[in-house]
Amino acid sequence: MAAPKKSVAKESGQEKAGSPPEFTREQEFKALRDMLLIRRFEEKAGQLYGMGAIGGFCHLYIGQEAVVVGMQMALKPGDEVITGYRDHGHMLACDMDPKGVMAELTGRRGGYSRGKGGSMHMFSKEKNFFGGHGIVGAQVSLGTGLAFANRYRGNDAVSVTYFGDGAANQGQVYESFNMAELWKLPVIYVIENNRYAMGTSVSRASAQQDFSKRGASFNIPGMQVDGMDVRAVKAAGDEAAAWCRAGKGPMILEMQTYRYRGHSMSDPAKYRTREEVEKVRHDQDPIEQVRNRLLEQKVTEQELKAIDAEVREIVNAAADFAQHDPEPDPSELYTDIYR
Amino acid sequence: MPIQVLMPALSPTMEKGNLSKWLKKEGETIKSGDVIAEIETDKATMEVEATDEGTLGKILVPEGTADVAVNTPIATILADGESAADLDKAPAAPAKAEAAPAKAEAPAPKPEAKSDAHAPAAPAAVAPPDPEIPAGTEMVTQTIREALRDAMAEEMRRDPDVFIMGEEVAEYQGAYKITQGLLQEFGERRVIDTPITEHGFAGIGVGAAMTGLKPIVEFMTFNFAMQAIDQIINSAAKTLYMSGGQMGCSIVFRGPNGAAARVGAQHSQDYAAWYSQVPGLKVVAPYSAADYKGLLKAAIRDPNPVIFLENEMLYGHTGEVPKLDDFVVPIGKARVARSGKDVTIISWSMGMSYALKAADELAKEGIEAEVIDLRTIRPMDTETIIASVKKTGRAVTVEEGWQQSGVGAEVASRIMEHAFDYLDAPVARVSGKDVPMPYAANLEKLALPSVAEVVAAAKAVSYR
């Protein structure tokens, strides 16, 4: 039975009251599986990075899984997704092939960008995933452009534009907010507030720390969402998508979340204590929350283990493919520069 | 089979580190994600997380060990049902991270001193010739302003995915009246006034183009496009490559570029050299009215991002434009604007006005200059330049932009690479002076190239 939901659309900055609507058993299983896939994939990516199989930058999504999984459950086919460089979770949530993603991380020809993009630059036209962008904040204008195209074509698709608490301080974010509200563009701005922009905490970087209010001067409604509870994320996503599809313009969702790992693989993590990380993991882990609810509903450990085993198999197959697929042919150096 | 935990690397350059601490003991249960150990280098400390579940079977490297090589097995984890007796079944550690199986040979394109075809995708050599203009075609005298407007209107009639956005393009009819009448014909859905927000609307245009729309983004001047240059280069130019060819960007960024008159340093810069350096962009800068029309139509149809550099001083100039249903001039092809045998003058856009006047002056002194209008800066039509220089043996470049790393420098390099043996003199460059554009009328005139400078350069390379 869904708990009555208070609309917060007009109350910028209001925290959602009450507990989120319950998931069906089927939804809980889906959320668990999709979040586990991201977690295991990222753990494996971290491992491959440690082995030297993945180069350059590698930003892991561990801890934030409920955000993309919950949002994806609120979307319809045709909706677009775009994000920054912490993008592996978004791609898996968009149903992109883990093999193709992992092979891009290792720079192989079977990668989504044929090895030419890397961790931060992957796209899938088929799955409506528009990247994967390495310049902090650039995806916000681009995502607004996806929404512009939807309005131009007169369809009812929504652009889900993800960015972090760090990107939220970039100028072009506000240029985009202005035009999105001015033209009533169907874009959901999902601010993933994981509390640290690289090594700088929100309190040291942001004059307005309530990110749901960041659209206030443009009259864009916003809400703060418990980004560790996949049900709360989906409920907020449903509301925002309905708002956009009704032609009311953009909405901001501040997802209060947490990244367990460093900013990138080479992060010494001196800016926070281990106790802080451990406390979030222990008290709020998005995956444990679902597991515990399922166990309360008399689902057996056996059933849960089966999901874990299935996910592990997918991730191991992806890792195997990504290490054995050949590197791109040298001729790839000069392809895809012009059409 | 027991699973080995390997010494991880904190960065691709790390080769060894210290195992400072074990946080789990042998025999302890381990869940995926548990921190089992801490390692450190001179730069950072990192936690080693278990990626598998089971019990910690054996610690192979005790805590406090310094300089442990990356990928050394540091512990084994026993899966459910395994015991210490299984420990010796652990696979031998790979000495090094698995090398890529089909390790590709370095591509190293062969340097071919006298050929332009050193890269598989060098597009310059394949530019088609200008369209035939049938005999008897009516020529219409138009201003460049009208030619640009007509080009956009024709393409918007032809393709419903083409739209224009920018500051004052709709109700005001264009800051320089280039978009006159477009709002009336196409409506506010396709002719879109933006706020003054270059970075934002350039990004919106690129995002729309990634879905297959074909935006024309007008910058009131290219000076303001510096606010948007990240979206132009990092998003528009590189996405096709970064996506392995999946997602491109058919978009035109256009507007006046270079010096106008008496507008000072911040409104007078020539950006041709900047954009021409970027693979993924095409850069077009026409001079004649017909080329303005035909090349803008080509730019709008091009599936790639095109920088279309106009010149405010030329907007009111008139020229003959063929009255054809579909007059499209190919991108990437230079035009011999005047034939001659003694010296080649290479220029484009506003620089052509100095070049052509200088050729008139030189003719009076018996020097026949061949003048080449590049029209496209990238991909550059090296072939036409080289053919001319082989004939004349002398070359002068003319541009309003600065000399260092300028387009003239690139042209001179290509001549040296492809026609060194034909040169009778070093290539000369006439350019804007190495100063921010001054405001005072006399100083501004000095900062720009002049006909006299072009004449002098042409005579110098001719040793006359």
Report yes or no: B119 and B382 within 8 Å, Cβ to Cβ: no
Q: Given this model, what pLDDT does residue B88 score?
A: 63
Q: Given this model, what pLDDT does residue B6 score?
A: 86
Q: What does R_g of chain A's alpha carbons equal in angstroms?
A: 19
Mean pLDDT, rounded, for B74-83: 82
In this structure, what are the phi and psi dihedrals at residue A322, rounded to the nearest 5 degrees?
A: -65, -20
Chain A environment of B49 (Cβ under 8 Å):
43, 46
Q: Given this model, what pLDDT does residue A14 score?
A: 46
Mean pLDDT, rounded, for B304-326: 96
Chain A environment of B9 (Cβ under 8 Å):
49-52
Report yes or no: A196 and A271 within 8 Å, Cβ to Cβ: yes
Dump pLDDT digits (tens) for A232-244: 999 999 999 999 9
In this structure, what are the phi and psi dihedrals at residue A232, rounded to the nearest 5 degrees?
A: -65, -40
| Minimum distance, in Å, between the CA of residue A255 and any CA atom of chain B | 23
In this structure, what are the phi and psi dihedrals at residue A165, rounded to the nearest 5 degrees?
A: -65, -25
Listing DSSP states for A239-283 in one string gives: HHHHHHHTT---EEEEEE---SS-SSTT---TTS-HHHHHHHHHH
Q: Given this model, what pLDDT does residue B8 score?
A: 85
Q: Which of B82, B154, B167, B267 is catalytic?
A: B267
CA distance B433 to B5: 63
Dump pLDDT digits (tens) for A3-18: 434 444 444 444 445 7
Q: Which tokens sit at A153?
A: 């074509």
Report yes or no: A97 and B229 within 8 Å, Cβ to Cβ: no
- ipTM of the assembly? 0.93
Q: Given this model, what pLDDT does residue B102 score?
A: 44
End-to-end Cα separation, chain A, in angstroms: 53
**Residue where the block lists tokens 């060990």:** B65
Report yes or no: A177 and A220 within 8 Å, Cβ to Cβ: yes
Dump pLDDT digits (tens) for A57-115: 999 999 999 999 999 999 999 999 999 999 999 999 999 999 999 999 999 999 999 99
Q: Which tokens sit at A299?
A: 């689902």
pLDDT-based confidence at residue B15 (cuts at 50, 70, 90): confident
Q: Given this model, what pLDDT does residue B283 score?
A: 98
Q: Which residue has the higher pLDDT, A20 or B115?
A: A20
Residue among B97, B199, B244 minimizing CB distance to A117: B244
Interface probe with A: pick from B70, B189, B246, B380, most Cβ of A within 10 Å:
B246
The chain-wide mean pLDDT, for chain B, equals 90
Chain A environment of B106 (Cβ under 8 Å):
330
Test A138 with B12 for CB contact under 8 angstroms: no
SS3 A209: coil
Residue of A nearest to B105 (CA): A330
Dump pLDDT digits (tens) for B22-61: 999 998 988 877 788 888 887 777 778 777 788 888 899 9
Q: With 0-12 CB in 10 A as exposed, 13-18 as middle and 19+ as buried, what is A84?
A: buried
Chain A environment of B44 (Cβ under 8 Å):
266-268
Q: Which residue has the higher pLDDT, B132 or B156?
A: B156
Residue of A nearest to B119 (CA): A334
Dump pLDDT digits (tens) for B371-426: 999 999 999 999 999 999 999 999 999 999 999 999 999 999 999 999 999 999 99
Q: H-helix or E-strand containing A104?
A: helix A98-105
Cross-strand pairs, B47: B38
Residue among B96, B101, B231 minimizing CB distance to A138: B231
Contacting residues for B192 by C-beta, under 8 A, at least 6 apart = B163, B164, B165, B166, B169, B170
Active site residue B199: no
Chain B environment of A134 (Cβ under 8 Å):
234
Residues 266 to 295 of B: which have CB under 8 A from any A CB?
279-280, 282
Residues 91 to 150 of B: which have CB under 8 A from any A CB?
96-98, 100-107, 119-121, 123
Q: Which tokens sit at A28?
A: 């809980």
Chain A environment of B47 (Cβ under 8 Å):
274
Flag whether residue B304 sits within 8 Å of chain A, measured between CB atoms: yes
Number of residues assigned to chain B: 464
Q: How much of chain B, in percent, has pLDDT values that exceed 90?
A: 72
SS3 A259: coil
Test B211 with A56 for CB contact under 8 angstroms: no
Distance of CA A112 to the CA centre of its chain: 18
Of A270, A132, A247, the C-alpha closest to A201 is: A270
CA distance A276 to A290: 22
Report yes or no: A221 and A8 within 8 Å, Cβ to Cβ: yes
Q: How much of chain B, in percent, has pLDDT values that exceed 70?
A: 90
Q: Given this model, what pLDDT does residue B126 score?
A: 59
Contacting residues for B44 by C-beta, under 8 A, at least 6 apart = A266, A267, A268, B10
Report yes or no: B190 and B183 within 8 Å, Cβ to Cβ: no
Residue A310 reports pLDDT greater than 60? yes
pLDDT-based confidence at residue B429 (cuts at 50, 70, 90): very high
Dump pLDDT digits (tens) for B273-296: 999 999 999 999 999 999 999 999
CA distance A232 to A228: 8
- Break chain A down into helix, strand, coil percent, rounded to 5: 45, 10, 40
Q: Given this model, what pLDDT does residue B91 score?
A: 53
Amino acid residing at B213: L
| Minimum distance, in Å, between the CA of residue B104 and any CA atom of chain A | 6
Dump pLDDT digits (tens) for B88-114: 665 544 444 444 444 444 444 444 444
Flag whether residue B243 sits within 8 Å of chain A, measured between CB atoms: yes
Residues 56 to 95 of A: which have CB under 8 A from any B CB?
56, 62, 80, 82
Q: Which of B146, B155, B167, B198 is catalytic?
A: B198
Active site residue B267: yes
Cross-strand pairs, B396: B345, B428
In this structure, what are the phi and psi dihedrals at residue B359, rounded to the nearest 5 degrees?
A: -65, -40
Residue of A nearest to B195 (CA): A179
Residue B458 reports pLDDT greater than 60? yes
CA distance A7 to A11: 8
CA distance A221 to A225: 13
CA distance B418 to A78: 51
Q: What is the pTM of this model?
A: 0.88
Residue B157 reports pLDDT greater than 70? yes
